[in-house]
């Protein structure tokens, strides 16, 4: 599955749209692993916008603000914010409560494990 993410970097007054690829399942069939890949893809898109060359550092899903909102034309969007900026992805065809629960589990797992090296995107 490929989805679009709109990225706004702090200090910029414009947004860009990037495609994120590599999600194994359609949103209606997501599991926690798929959601982890979506969040990582959103953070990588933000990093690519700020640093267009070079390899991205590893990602640890901690220290981000997030929300899942209904989209006017159906589905939901995921919005995240970090010190680098903000990103909005979607819309996705998945129940809001189910997606919120998956995101919460994924982030809790990272928080409890202390996963990720110190040189992470976020």
- pLDDT tens for the chain, residues 1 to 122: 999 999 999 999 899 999 999 999 999 999 999 999 999 999 999 999 999 887 878 888 888 999 999 999 999 999 999 999 999 999 999 999 999 999 999 999 888 876 554 444 44
Prediction pTM value: 0.89
23, 7 Cβ separation under 8 angstroms: no
Q: In 24-45, which positions are buried (b, 16+ CB within 10 angstroms) versus exposed (e)?
A: eeebeebeeebbbbbbbbbbbb
């Amino acid at each position: 599955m490929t989805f679009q993410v709109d990225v706004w970097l702090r200090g910029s007054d414009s947004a860009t749209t990037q495609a994120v690829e590599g999600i194994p399942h359609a949103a209606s069939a997501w599991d926690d692993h798929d959601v982890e890949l979506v969040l990582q893809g959103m953070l990588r898109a933000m990093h690519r916008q700020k640093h267009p060359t070079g390899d991205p550092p590893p990602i640890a899903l901690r220290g981000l603000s997030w929300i899942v909102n209904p989209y006017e034309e159906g589905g939901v969007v995921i919005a995240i914010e970090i010190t680098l900026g903000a990103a909005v992805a979607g819309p996705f065809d998945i129940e809001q409560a189910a997606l919120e629960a998956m995101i919460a589990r994924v982030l809790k797992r990272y928080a409890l494990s202390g996963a990720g090296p110190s040189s992470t995107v976020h």
